[in-house]
Structure 1
Amino acid sequence: MSEGRQQEITEHDVFISRSFAAPRDTVWRFWTEPRLLASWFGPEGVSVPVDSITVELVEQGRWELTMIDNATGASHPITGRITAFKAPEFLEIQLTALTEAGPVDDVVLRLQFHDHGERTRMTLHQGPFTDEIRDMTHAGWILSFTKLDTLLERPSA
């Protein structure tokens, strides 16, 4: 899969385009450095222990983490393989996850990071999903990105 190949977006996919108040290299690091990824991944009420995160930034490298529901202690592992990347522009991961709504197998997550100087436009395309899991995934990303916004708007990010 090359970063220049556009994938069709269907009704079974999540597609989000969002601007972040940080340079592209910084936003990229929040996806690829375990300590930074743990600081924002998952909606409020969910944590990701740093020691559950593995990011092997090579093709076929692992990209894995476990989300923990803080109220119940339930764990929701996500395991993936990096299928393509070009730092800091493009990241594609083939994922399997155990969600509250059931297992998700062989979902592709494609991220593009567009350089706008002191800001980054990120596009996320993920799928295919069932309708229920698509809607839950979309809502989860929006909540996660709100947390990421807060971190990136701090001068120390």
Structure 2
Amino acid sequence: MTEPSGAHRPMEKVADIASDIGEYIRQQRSSAKISLRQLSKLAGVSNPYLSQIERGVRKPSAEILQQIAKGLRISAEALYVQAGILDLPTGGPVGDAIRADTELTERQKQVLLDVYESFRRENAAAGETPASAPKTTRDTTEESV
């Protein structure tokens, strides 16, 4: 008897998430120029376990992700999103562009997003929209000739 198509999809999705988070951690570790052994020590996670996470064999818990994020000096939220624990924050095209920029570190991305969101909150609290915000113009008065 054959199983209906898609019967194993939930397990495949978990395996994909584990593989994705492992690859993401490996990329972050590589860009930070930290060895697997160094990250293992910084995060307080055994070297073999960290290796299994990076290879997609194991899916780490939120607590382990937090320890790894601390060791990599990136936001735990970034790892939670990659692991499927948190949904990708909304923020429109600006937030998407910041998150997609490969030239920025995770910390730099988070700082930019925080500043951007603070401006948006400030404008919302003041009831301003881009159209109603005061415009800054240069003094364009011409001298009489």
Length-normalised TM-score, structure 2: 0.25
Tell me: higher relative CO, structure 1 or 2? Use CA pairs within 8 A at least 6 residues apart.
1
Greater fraction helix: 2
TM-score, normalised relative to structure 1: 0.24
Structure whose residues are more often strand by fraction:
1
- Larger-gyration structure (1/2): 2
